[in-house]
Amino acid sequence: MLGGLFQKFRQGLKRTQETVFRPLGHLLGLRKLDEAQLEELEDLLLQADLGVHAVDRLMERLRSDMKRLGEVDPKAILKEELLKLIQRQPARPFEAGETQVILLVGVNGVGKTTTLGKLASHLKAKGEEVLVVAGDTFRAAAIDQLEAWGERAGVSVVRNQMGGDPAAIAFDGATSAKAKGLPWVLIDTAGRLHTKDHLMKELDKIRRSLQKVLPGAPHRVLLVLDATTGQNGLVQAEAFKQAAGVTDLVLTKLDGSAKGGVVVPILERLKLPIAFVGVGEGVDDLIPFDPEAFVDGLLDA
Ligand SMILES: Nc1nc2c(ncn2[C@@H]2O[C@H](COP(=O)(O)OP(=O)(O)OP(=O)(O)O)[C@@H](O)[C@H]2O)c(=O)[nH]1
Ligand SMILES: [Mg+2]
């Protein structure tokens, strides 16, 4: 990862680092930890939303190394074990080719539209043409918000009136992009609760109408997750994975969260790659997930 992005990643993890990992500092510098210190470390790691499984694994490794070697470097062990846990699902790069449709899904307010806007700008800046589809037809404001992002990115937006059928507008967008030979179609969708059956079925309807135009579509389904909800977001994520054929994850609002450690249980439980993380509201605040930058950002003050 390039230096600038690395810094940005680190900046995005600042709240998690300061709130949860900095207080670990005095323990990570020790070479021998007594039982009370081990317990303190365990408690702090659990508070970081790393998940019980990962924390158990870290503690086991510390205890067994200490027994075997007499001394340990807790920070090095933490880095090594965390990297092992999060490196299993490398994200597939976004490479332009024949028309590819990307659908963004998730619960309300997680950052779908913002992520779409950032992604559109990013692809366009690389010189790749993008068509954006306003598939959230529930609110007029949602369509306007997407128009604004489209303008900023310099890409066209396909929209119909409020209350229109999202599957129909998705169909129109895919048809138009295919006819023009554009490499990317990004489709925004309305926020929906994973427990609302009819809304989850609507995603299926969008899929089917896209497939009428492009048999492989949607080529990617990005599930957008809000990092500030920590492990509470895992249940909804699993429901979306089941119902919406999710291929990649986007973890937004990392900058506003002290629960950045949630990356670990997310990757463990969902077994999907994190394609991007959101580290702010600006157009450049969407960056590829990088395991090394993540671990360094958490543990290096
Ligand atoms: N700090 C921060 N704010 C973000 C990030 N991503 C999105 N937001 C903000 O979160 C709020 C909601 O973002 P939207 O993109 O409208 O969320 P949405 O999922 O499209 O919302 P609905 O369409 O209502 O379901 C906005 O105020 C965004 O600016 C991020 O990475 N960091
Ligand atoms: Mg939206």
Mean pLDDT of the 63-86 span: 95
Element housing 153 (H / E): helix 140-153
d(CA 70, CA 84): 24
- Phi, then psi, of 103 in degrees rounded to 5: -110, 130
Please give the distance, rounded to the nearest whole angstrom, from the Cα atom of residue 276 to the centre of ligand 1.
14
Q: Average model confidence (pLDDT) for the chain?
A: 94
The residue type at 78: L
d(CA 286, CA 118): 6
Mean pLDDT of the 170-193 span: 97
What percent of the chain is predicted at pLDDT more than 70?
100
What pLDDT is recorded for position 272?
A: 96
d(CA 295, CA 299): 6
Nearest to 9 by CA among 205, 301, 300, 286: 286
Site to probe by mutation for ligand 1, drawn from 9, 112, 114, 226 as the one with most ligand atoms within 8 Å of Cβ, is: 114
Indicate whether residue 278 lines ligand 1 (CB < 6 A).
yes
Residue ID of nearest Cα to ligand 1 atom 14: 111
The pTM assigned to this predicted structure is 0.96
User: Which ranges in the chain belong to alpha helices (H)?
Assistant: 3-12, 14-16, 25-28, 35-47, 52-69, 74-86, 112-125, 140-153, 166-180, 197-213, 234-244, 263-270, 291-299
**Model confidence at 301, in pLDDT bands (50, 70, 90)?**
low
Mean pLDDT of the 102-111 span: 97
Mean pLDDT of the 186-204 span: 94
Indicate whether residue 192 lines ligand 1 (CB < 6 A).
no
Residue ID of nearest Cα to ligand 1 atom 24: 109
Please give the distance, rounded to the nearest whole angstrom, from the Cα atom of residue 14 to the centre of ligand 1.
19
